[in-house]
């Protein structure tokens, strides 16, 4: 059985790296200073690219990997993946949609509460100032 090469574009969660390393022939792209040379030497064994919101698979990389079958984004969004090139070469693309939806909702609620509290404090200070100056609030 041939080893399936997986090209990880940037450091990720240690658990993810460990599991990919255990199951596949994992290439950590950031460890190769001569990237074009590395890709030339290993292009036929790399069947998967794993990226994130900062590093994905552009058209140039995709063209250099003739055995590429899938580009996986460990996170939301597909901005760093050339979807047209993947479509053209019939390469599958995956990401993790909705993985942060609840966290973002919690953050927004927290910001709303924080903003409401800040608004109340500002109003209170303004009302105190108005009383001190002898003005009336409406």
Domain, as residue range, for 107: 5-113
Q: What is residue 59's predicted lDDT score, i.e. its pLDDT? A: 95
Could you tell me what percentage of the chain is helix, strand and coil, using 3-state DSSP and rounding each to the nearest 5? 50, 15, 35
Count structural domains, the chain: 1
Of 55, 27, 24, the residue nearest 41 (C-alpha):
27
Q: What is residue 1's predicted lDDT score, i.e. its pLDDT? A: 40
- pLDDT digits over 50-83, tens only? 998 888 999 999 999 999 999 999 877 788 899 9
- pLDDT digits over 84-126, tens only? 999 999 999 998 766 666 777 777 777 777 766 666 666 777 7
Read off the pLDDT band of 21 (50, 70, 90): very high
pTM: 0.70
Does residue 134 lie in a domain region?
no
Residue 100: CATH number of its domain: 3.40.50.720
């Amino acid at each position: 059985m041939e080893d399936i090469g997986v090209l990880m574009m940037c450091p990720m969660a240690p658990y993810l790296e460990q599991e990919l390393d255990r199951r596949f022939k994992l290439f950590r792209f950031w460890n190769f200073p001569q990237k074009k040379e590395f890709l030339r030497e290993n292009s036929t064994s790399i069947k998967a690219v794993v990226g994130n919101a900062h590093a994905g698979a552009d058209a140039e990389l995709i063209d250099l990997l003739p055995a590429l079958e899938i580009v996986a984004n460990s996170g939301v969004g597909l901005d760093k993946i050339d979807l047209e090139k993947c479509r053209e070469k019939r390469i599958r693309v995956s990401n993790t949609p909705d993985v942060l939806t609840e966290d973002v909702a919690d953050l927004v609620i927290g910001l709303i509460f924080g903003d409401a509290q800040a608004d109340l404090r500002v109003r209170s200070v303004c009302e105190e100032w108005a009383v001190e100056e002898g003005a009336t609030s409406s």
